[in-house]
Structure 1
């Protein structure tokens, strides 16, 4: 039987939800590999709604599950119904929704809390020794939840190509190992069955980001 992968979304749009291109890349690469995927999202309000032209919060209220359904083409399930036993692997695309809706990383950094349902699911897959794939900012969830794990969010030295290198250093403060990787590469923490790639944490051409996510998906599937 083809592997069955749970994909957790956090809204729709880079500044307040899931990064759409990353989510789509996960969807396409899973499909190409012959894997089944099921989209999930928490049925909660977004932290806020951002005007993606102005880059500024608005007075709107939006629901994470409803917005995530835009990416999933309406085929999405409430996160509370995700049962670890029913899936072979877990993948969480990036986007600020990870740091705003799935956790409070955006405002509290290493002192953040993770949405209880998300924490329970990540710990559940980890305890069951089922692989977890994370890209862009979502590796911070593992760094917070799985002490001593190894992840990458790209490079730990800030430069024009890596403007978010500070995140790598915060991950180190949490007692985890950060491994520098290029955007088209992944890091595999074999002990924890954790696969991470940097995606939009760096300034790279979108086709390289797409390829890196493909490597992440393939590496996750190999660990099943």
Structure 2
């Protein structure tokens, strides 16, 4: 049985991991025969009220929030090492662009959380596959842009242009499909970058990504 690590960025699409994407990924990986373990950075993050869409003014533990999705079975990201797993995957949600890095603020000039960067480079240098959903491919693009990694975030021209500033290559992709870069072993799917997508369409792309990831592993 292949072992896959999933890195969460909180809980909720406005300030953490997109829940449908994260759950679809967990289900897809299990269906593909993988044993899944969840991780998240142990940092404090600002909270967005998902009813109003506005900052709530409070901060919470990213790790504790992500534990909601992982049913409490989660570890701090500093405990994730490529030697212990066959692949790693990053669900989307605004938390990927706010908490795993500050792409939401700086685009291609962003800084990546040091532990997130370490994990991506660890798996890349170990020649183990990396998956990223929705906006999360921007994090991979920032870290592996000098490797000319190919990723997708769908058809959002503005985000695609920023991705290309990192040195990465962007390829358009429909919501129910995924893109593979066989050189870097990176698999990406747009998911809710298509904001009006239906859950079954999002799941179809993530299901394909999950099976591709496990097959490569």
Same fold (TM over 0.5): yes
Which residue matches 1:45? 44
Which residue matches 2:69? 71
Q: How big is the shift at 1:32?
A: 1.3
Matched, 1:216 2:209: yes
Where does 1:10-49 land on structure 2 (aligned, <5 Å)?
A: 10-46=9-45, 48-49=46-47
Q: How big is the shift at 1:33?
A: 1.6
Matched, 1:167 2:159: yes
Secondary structure of the corresponding residue to residue 154 of structure 2: coil
**Offset from partner CA, 1:48-100 (integer Å, 9 cap, x none):** 10000100001111010000000000000111111210000000000111111
Which residue matches 1:133? 131
- The structure in which a higher percent of residues are helix is 2
Aligned-residue CA RMSD (Å): 0.8
Moved more, 200-209 or 122-131: 200-209
**Partners of 1:82 and 1:50 in 2: CA distance:** 27
Where does 1:36-185 land on structure 2 (aligned, <5 Å)?
A: 36-46=35-45, 48-146=46-144, 147=146, 148-155=148-155, 164-185=156-177
Structure 1: unaligned runs, 5 residues or longer: 156-163
Matched, 1:204 2:204: no
Secondary structure of the corresponding residue to residue 59 of structure 1: strand
- The structure in which a higher percent of residues are strand is 2
Q: How big is the shift at 1:187?
A: 0.6
Secondary structure of the corresponding residue to residue 61 of structure 1: strand
**Offset from partner CA, 1:179-204 (integer Å, 9 cap, x none):** 11111111100000000000000132
Q: How big is the shift at 1:175?
A: 1.8
Displacement over 2 Å in runs of 4+: none
**Partners of 1:83 and 1:170 in 2: CA distance:** 29
**Offset from partner CA, 1:202-223 (integer Å, 9 cap, x none):** 1321111011000110111111
Q: How big is the shift at 1:168?
A: 1.0
Q: How big is the shift at 1:165?
A: 3.2
Q: How big is the shift at 1:111?
A: 0.6
**TM-score, L = length of structure 2:** 0.97
**Partners of 1:209 and 1:39 in 2: CA distance:** 20
Secondary structure of the corresponding residue to residue 18 of structure 1: coil
Which residue matches 1:4? 3
**TM-score, L = length of structure 1:** 0.94
Secondary structure of the corresponding residue to residue 58 of structure 1: strand
**Offset from partner CA, 1:99-137 (integer Å, 9 cap, x none):** 111101111111100000000000000000000000100
Q: How big is the shift at 1:138?
A: 0.5
